[in-house]
């Protein structure tokens, strides 16, 4: 699928949502849905119960993703989920080039989410495991994913420890949306607050632990661990300080793909200028290394100006950008540096009580996803949801990224750049209070600037694409209270 086709799909999706949002929205919410009461948190300063004059969203420079509404859960619980799906795939082995043929595939998945609350502590833990079985000679694949977040609170701030880890047969970009780790985006880790897709933290793909595109169903381990401190100097001003480590490791014999390591550090200052608007500034440091290559590391230093606008329940907008300095260390060609820019834009908008959408754009330096030893990456994603009556829900998701090689390497893909993207649609219906059925379609596309051979094998070609269509059932019993 070409770039202009993704743009056309996105425009058609927005038009459809605009028409849908103008319809009557008076029908009650679907039975079986669980809604947590959105109650404002206790004020951090003073004892006045009146509405505070500042935004209740997280600091702009923090790793927490802004939400349309505060969702202050007041209960501790366990939430299990089991999914089974049968679908057809035109390229089950995710091969480059070659003929395409439909193959039957069975996917099983289970997950468990834990939330445990104390007066000043909070623990969130999600674990999912799945297996995919093919009716041809393609080997079965397995998926594991773990999210962990431990928060320590005090009157004027917090300290958080986070870790997200996954074991996947493909790239993590959009993997949990349709046809991947979470076929229906359910089970706690398809579109969770840990990443909007497997492998990231709170909408920050530039922190590492992610890969954009994959070939040959080659297993890979992603991990990203971060620690963050948030401190409020006053009701209007706050600072954040974060650091962490991410890795991408190919666990089986894959001599043509590149392992990577990434060290992160960043500090930011935030100031609320009105009830809805906040400004900030952030400094970030990223260090990339490639142990399988024996050299060729580089570091980046960036400075961002940040602006955020929050209209509770309706609109959330974050804009961030600034210059970036890249310093390359090459044992063969010597050291050099480059000056560029980086930035991101995040928009969440609710057309009505039934229709909402989110849009993300990121321009950043990435590890290269195993294909390159470092890449300049542009990433865009559009997600939309429409509730149709009491029982039906439609979700659409489109993602696209462009990756340009930053330095030469002996391994990886011998190409100047590559593009990858996906588009998917899911329609689900509540059958009973704890059981839902769904149908979905997904298209994946991976295109290199020239023909390449991956992992030192005969898996060669210019592009890889696949169509996936299927049906499934999801069992999600009521959360189990543990307090």
Q: What token pair was written down for 14?
A: 């927005």
Tally: H helices and E strands in the chain:
1, 19
Instruction: Walk along the chain (483 residues) and give the pLDDT tens digit of each residue.
Output: 455 555 555 544 554 444 444 444 444 434 334 344 333 444 443 333 333 344 467 899 999 888 887 666 678 999 999 999 999 999 888 888 766 788 899 999 999 999 999 989 999 999 999 998 988 778 888 889 999 999 999 999 999 999 999 998 887 787 765 544 343 333 333 333 223 343 445 568 889 878 888 888 888 899 999 999 999 999 999 999 999 999 999 887 666 788 899 999 999 999 999 999 999 999 999 999 998 765 678 999 999 999 999 998 899 999 999 999 999 887 666 678 899 999 999 999 999 999 999 999 999 999 999 899 899 999 999 999 999 989 999 999 999 999 999 988 777 888 999 999 999 999 999 999 999 999 999 999 999 999 888 765 667 888 888 899 999 999 999 999 987
**Alpha carbons 174 and 181: distance in angstroms, whole number:** 9
pTM of the model: 0.83
The Cα–Cα gap between 387 and 21 comes to 10
Least Cα distance to 397 among 350, 353, 359, 349 occurs for 359
Which residues, in sequence order, are CB contacts of 203 under 8 Å at separation 6+? 65, 195, 196, 344, 346, 360
Q: How far apart are CA 322 and CA 338, in angstroms?
A: 14
How far is it, in rounded angstroms, from Cα 185 to Cα 425?
11
């Amino acid at each position: 699928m070409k770039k202009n086709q993704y743009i056309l799909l996105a425009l058609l999706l927005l038009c459809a949502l605009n028409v849908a949002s103008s319809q009557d929205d008076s029908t009650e919410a679907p039975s079986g849905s669980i809604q947590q009461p959105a109650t404002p948190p206790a004020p951090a300063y003073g004892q006045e119960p009146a509405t505070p004059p500042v935004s209740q969203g997280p600091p702009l420079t923090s790793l927490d993703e802004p939400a349309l509404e505060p969702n202050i859960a007041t209960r501790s619980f366990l939430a299990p989920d089991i999914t089974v799906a049968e679908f057809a795939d035109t390229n089950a082995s995710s091969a480059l080039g070659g003929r395409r043929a439909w193959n039957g595939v069975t996917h099983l998945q289970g997950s468990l989410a834990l939330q445990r609350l104390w007066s000043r502590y909070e623990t969130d833990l999600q674990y999912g495991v799945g297996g995919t079985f093919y009716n041809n000679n393609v080997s079965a694949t397995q998926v594991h994913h773990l999210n962990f977040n431990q928060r320590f609170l005090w009157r004027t701030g917090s300290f958080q420890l986070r870790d997200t880890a996954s074991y996947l047969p493909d790239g993590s970009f959009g993997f949990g949306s349709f046809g991947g780790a979470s076929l229906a985006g359910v089970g706690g880790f398809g579109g969770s607050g840990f990443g909007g897709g497997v492998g990231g933290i709170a909408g920050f793909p530039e922190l590492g632990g992610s890969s954009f595109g994959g070939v040959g169903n080659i297993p890979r381990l992603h991990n990203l661990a971060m620690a963050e401190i948030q401190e409020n100097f006053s009701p209007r001003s706050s600072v954040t300080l974060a650091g962490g480590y991410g890795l991408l490791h190919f666990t089986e014999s894959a001599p043509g793909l590149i392992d990577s390591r990434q060290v992160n550090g960043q500090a930011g200052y935030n100031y609320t200028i009105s009830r809805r608007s906040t400004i900030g500034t952030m400094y970030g440091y990223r260090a990339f290394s490639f142990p399988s290559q024996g050299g060729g590391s580089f570091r980046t230093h960036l400075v961002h100006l940040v602006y955020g606008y929050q209209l509770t329940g309706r609109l959330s907008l974050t804009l961030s950008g600034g210059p970036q300095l890249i310093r390359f260390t090459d044992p063969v060609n010597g050291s050099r540096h480059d000056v560029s820019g980086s930035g991101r834009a995040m928009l969440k908008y609710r057309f009505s009580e039934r229709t909402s959408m989110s849009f993300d754009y990121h321009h950043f330096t990435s590890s290269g996803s195993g294909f390159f030893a470092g890449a300049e990456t542009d990433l865009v994603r559009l997600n939309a949801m429409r509730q149709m009556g009491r029982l039906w829900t439609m979700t659409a998701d489109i993602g696209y990224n462009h990756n340009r090689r930053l330095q030469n390497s002996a391994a990886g893909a011998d190409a100047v750049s590559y593009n990858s993207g996906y588009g998917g649609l899911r329609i689900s219906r509540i059958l009973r209070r704890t059981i839902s059925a769904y149908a979905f379609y997904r298209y994946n596309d991976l295109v290199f600037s020239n023909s390449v051979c991956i992992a030192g094998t005969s898996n060669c070609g210019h592009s890889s694409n696949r169509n996936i269509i299927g049906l499934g059932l999801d069992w999600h019993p009521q959360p189990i209270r543990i307090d």
